[in-house]
Structure 1
Amino acid sequence: MPGLNYKPANYELAKSINEDFVRNIPKPDYLITAAMLDSEDNLVNMLYPNDIVKFMISVEKDSYIAILCIDANGDKNWLPVAYNFIRAGEVRTFPDLKDTVFKVVDGVYGAEQILIYASTSEKGLPEQTSTGKYAKNDIQKITRGITALKQSSAENYETSVFKITYTVME
């Protein structure tokens, strides 16, 4: 049919603006890349009781890391890390403690979070207390939409946080 066009009249202009936008997006200079894997090295976001997981973590700057698990009830648990320093570009697998596994054992079902903290100084990591609780609504507010963030301090270190969300099924 004459006169039909699948492209809008301003297609070339829209394409040009999009290319300029993508080219000029500032790239964060400090990022964490992480993934949760099952015992067979598959990416997972649903777990069941007795499932065993591990985390692959990489950073773009030499960093110290800490791994926090927040269960569906808001209880927090710092996962043990033997050697928490990672060189830039290195890919590390956790747990890194001999004879240690990260296993779903508590019988709490629902949406849970893993927060992986990385900082160019150990001072930039949160205090790893063994007890504590977040209110369920606070967990969502704290972690909604977070993938990585950068903080600079007066002491000149940077801290980033990476979130992994998963669900524990019955």
Structure 2
Amino acid sequence: MAAGGAVFNDVHLNGVDPKGRVSLPAAFRQTIEIRCSNGRVASGLGKTLRMAMHPTLRCIEVSDGLQIAETEEQMTAHAQRISEQTNELVGDVLDRLEAETFPLMKDVNFDQAGRMVLPDRLRAKANIGGDAFFVGRGRRFRIWAPDELRKAEAGESTDVLDEMDDLLARRKERG
């Protein structure tokens, strides 16, 4: 792996305030710092996350700067392969692929403490209210509303659901 094994793992539950502010889990901030320090991430993108709705699940899919760079590289290579097969210009194929991928993505910056604001449109579509459940997925991570994750048929494993319920119960005990 290009990031030397630095991947998003584990699960975290953080509160979301009425304005959509939430803290990025500290472990994820550390992973981003490691992943984005390899020289492949454009200057200024170290604290930028790219968010979009998952194509089939009701959650937010999140990429860091390294994943953004890798996606761009993979897209260019894919456009070149399609161009060789179809005789289309690489630029035309790339334009089409980019038009399918990037318009609905939102860039979100986080501060030194990990505070960020979830975009209103994404938060509404993912039905995220007072809690955001972060799920590490290797190169990316997902942000779920707990109720939406419970309803998702192919969202996450039963163990992940159990972890979420444990975190919610502990939060409720603390008041």
TM-score by length of 2: 0.29
| Structure with max Cα Rg | 1
TM-score, scaled relative to structure 1: 0.29
Q: Report 1 or 2 for greater relative contact order, CA contacts < 8 Å, sequence distance ≥ 6.
A: 2
Higher helix share: 2
